[in-house]
Amino acid sequence: MSGSSALVLFSGGQDSTVCLAWALSRFDRVETVGFDYGQRHATELKARPVILEKLRAQHPARLGDDHLLPLAVLKDIGGSALTDDRKIEMGENGLPTSFVPGRNVLFLTAAAALGYRRGIADLVGGMCETDYSGYPDCRDETVQATARALSLALAREVRVHTPLMRLDKAATWTLAEALGGAALVKLIVEDSVTCYEGDRTQRHEWGYGCGACPACELRAAGYRRYIAP
């Protein structure tokens, strides 16, 4: 997209790393934004600068500023296994206890406000409703409704791109290879953090993680399908 800029919601995880590579292949200028919302572990926040440094070396002219915004209100609200010390399991409402109510809507709102100040109307997020934990704020309907509301609220169009929305985790690994070859796949395996427990002590063929939480299970199953002959 000639003459265009994008702001990528970048957590340091597998999906957002693939989305960042996707944006770098399509936009002239890319900035990133992460959120410190009081998540139980800081591993993913530590992974962000490591991944950004490696990708910036490959795309020095395209990859611009990184921003980290505090959204501790999500921790203050609490009640999620991602912010509180509680077991990850299926809740009575049919959603896993790892669900953080309103998280993606809040992320998109903060990103759109930052984009407004940075002159960027295109946001890129890793939301997916194919291989996911059932979070309602990951659905395309939710994301695009939020984009419409933000466009009205900011009196200018806000576009939210979700390149992984219709992909399962195996296809996400395949997309990573298509975008950056074996080098990007290796970077995701070695440096990205998906594990809900933030475990960096156990190394698997698909990367580091506890191997038991829903995020690890999705990532592992997708990797096995990706490498299957």
pLDDT tens, residue by residue, 78-113 = 767 677 677 766 566 666 666 777 889 999 999 999
**142 in a structural domain:** yes
| Cα-to-chain-centroid distance, residue 76 | 22
Specify the pLDDT at position 162: 98
Percentages helix, strand, coil for the chain (3-state, rounded to 5) are: 45, 15, 40
Specify the pLDDT at position 229: 64
**226 in a structural domain:** no
Specify the pLDDT at position 90: 58
pLDDT tens, residue by residue, 144-174 = 999 999 999 999 999 999 999 999 999 999 9
CATH of the domain at 33: 3.40.50.620
**177 in a structural domain:** no
Helix (H, G, I), strand (E, B) or coil at 160: strand
Specify the pLDDT at position 130: 85
| Cα-to-chain-centroid distance, residue 213 | 17
**206 in a structural domain:** no
Structure token digits, residue 56? 């910036």
**201 in a structural domain:** no
**180 in a structural domain:** no
Determine the structural domain holding residue 116 and report its residue range.
5-172
Specify the pLDDT at position 38: 80
**194 in a structural domain:** no
Q: Kindly give the parts of the chain with pLDDT less than 50.
A: 2
Long-range own/partner contacts, residues 82-91 (CB < 8 A, 24 or more apart):
82/39, 82/40, 82/196, 83/37, 83/38, 83/39, 83/40, 84/40, 85/40, 88/196, 88/213, 88/214
How many domains in the chain? Answer: 1
Specify the pLDDT at position 171: 96
**CB–CB of 99/133 below 8 Å?**
yes
Specify the pLDDT at position 133: 67
**228 in a structural domain:** no
**Element (DSSP H or E) covering residue 146:** helix 140-154
